[in-house]
Structure 1
């Protein structure tokens, strides 16, 4: 237990001493602050770009829910790649540098080595993204005059399940191969996107996490099986991937 606690402290220190502590929060806060503003003034920008001589295009007035939907689109289109890159280099970079071998000379087990990576990465991602959700809500409230908090928090919480799947998939790849782990994580993301096109896959598998996230932000998702099945299977898949990463790492030569 003391060895695991020491590993958790080490992982936390690694976050604060590397590019991760700056890049992920910076990207998240920028997207959270700029998204509602862009949503509010998109129609005006289009009108200015078309000019007075062009045919008028009638677009619905943007709402606070549109800004929330933009937040989740930013999460699924941009932030996921930052998260994948963070996780993809977590284990194999330490194997190449010899840090893994030195760390495991001490009492921690290889399973604890992998688990602590996952726990700290997911905790760091959760803090950064939930902070971003609050910033997005505050800016949306300031721009639109009012904004419901529930949809953006619910959508962000479901997105974190997707992040857990991608983090564990990337950790599995990082434990198995020396290079290209980020490509595996990104490939897993696009596989979920493609499977999400099929209604049955989106309804009962983690492939539904992306459309559910967007629907929650837009206020169109109900608390039925189309919400809970993707969340439950996403948690199960992340757990299975993490277990596989621990097994693979136990068998790998350092």
Structure 2
């Protein structure tokens, strides 16, 4: 693939020198730092809002470190995915509209390298930011739940985050495909977000969750909280998620190869 190394360097510079380098890590670190605190003091927060008498009528169990770990995965799956999708949705379409894509492809750089370089740098950036956030979440959990991360193992939290990163890779591939197919960033972002909701709904079906990428979110939550889960329920979603991401990326390449540039 012609010019892959220069394109990878260019994509890295685009991340480091633009809003992306601050927004995604900033969002993830904020969620990682505040999630355990909110989990630990949920009862106190509700007591202040509702009053002690009304709170007594609501059976709320005492929060645990496992709850904080589960909240981290929930925050990733409910908030961070939108930032990831928006980043990927505008990657190709914005450069096509501005004419940057045409300039890059006469360097010469192949269209395959052009699409793949976007995917590689975005996926690596999301992975680094997510693992950084997981480490912060583990450290803050240890502080608010009094030592040793309240019993949550860093390896388990990183493993759960790694499973989520596979989901992010699938969403990046879908969004890049949509970005290659449509010039409007809003359309590409809508497709990426719609795909996320479809995967979330499919994850509620046990058979789909066990053998398809729809099980990535349940698997990540189970690993983070220490819930019992057989190995197949982890590796099947991860393996099928990686295969799906590769197929989607290949489709994005095919679509972009046929796209008429300005």
TM-score range, shorter chain: over 0.9
Cα distance in structure 2, aligned partners of 1:232 and 1:96: 35
| TM superposition shift of 1:45 | 1.3
SS at match of 1:91: helix
Counterpart contact for 2:91–2:179, Cα < 8 Å = yes
**1:90-117 deviation line (CA, Å, top 9, x unaligned):** 0010000000000000121100000000
Aligned to 1:249: 256
Aligned to 2:171: 166
Cα distance in structure 1, aligned partners of 2:95 and 2:141: 41
Cα distance in structure 2, aligned partners of 1:211 and 1:86: 24
Counterpart contact for 1:69–1:218, Cα < 8 Å = yes
2:67 aligned with 1:60: no
- After the TM superposition, which residues 177-196 of structure 1 pair with which residues of structure 2 at under 5 Å, given as runs? 177-179=182-184, 180-196=187-203
- After the TM superposition, which residues 229-248 of structure 1 pair with which residues of structure 2 at under 5 Å, given as runs? 229-248=236-255
SS at match of 1:54: helix
**1:48-77 deviation line (CA, Å, top 9, x unaligned):** 222134361342211111110000000000
Aligned to 2:88: 87
Stretches of structure 1 lacking an aligned partner (at least 5 in a row) = none
2:115 aligned with 1:114: yes
Stretches of structure 2 lacking an aligned partner (at least 5 in a row) = none
SS at match of 2:54: coil
Cα distance in structure 2, aligned partners of 1:213 and 1:48: 32
Counterpart contact for 1:221–1:227, Cα < 8 Å = no
SS at match of 1:222: coil
Decide which moves more: 143-152 or 185-194: 143-152
Cα distance in structure 2, aligned partners of 1:52 and 1:71: 28
**1:5-62 deviation line (CA, Å, top 9, x unaligned):** 1000000111122211111011011000000000000011112222134361342211
Counterpart contact for 2:2–2:108, Cα < 8 Å = no
- After the TM superposition, which residues 116-131 of structure 1 pair with which residues of structure 2 at under 5 Å, given as runs? 116-131=117-132
Cα distance in structure 2, aligned partners of 1:186 and 1:55: 36
2:20 aligned with 1:20: yes
Aligned to 1:100: 101
2:177 aligned with 1:176: no
* Superposition RMSD in Å: 1.2
Aligned to 1:209: 216
Cα distance in structure 1, aligned partners of 2:138 and 2:172: 26
Q: Give structure 1 regions of 4+ aligned residues with deviation exceeding 6 angstroms.
A: none
Aligned to 1:142: 143
Counterpart contact for 1:212–1:221, Cα < 8 Å = no
Cα distance in structure 1, aligned partners of 2:232 and 2:209: 11
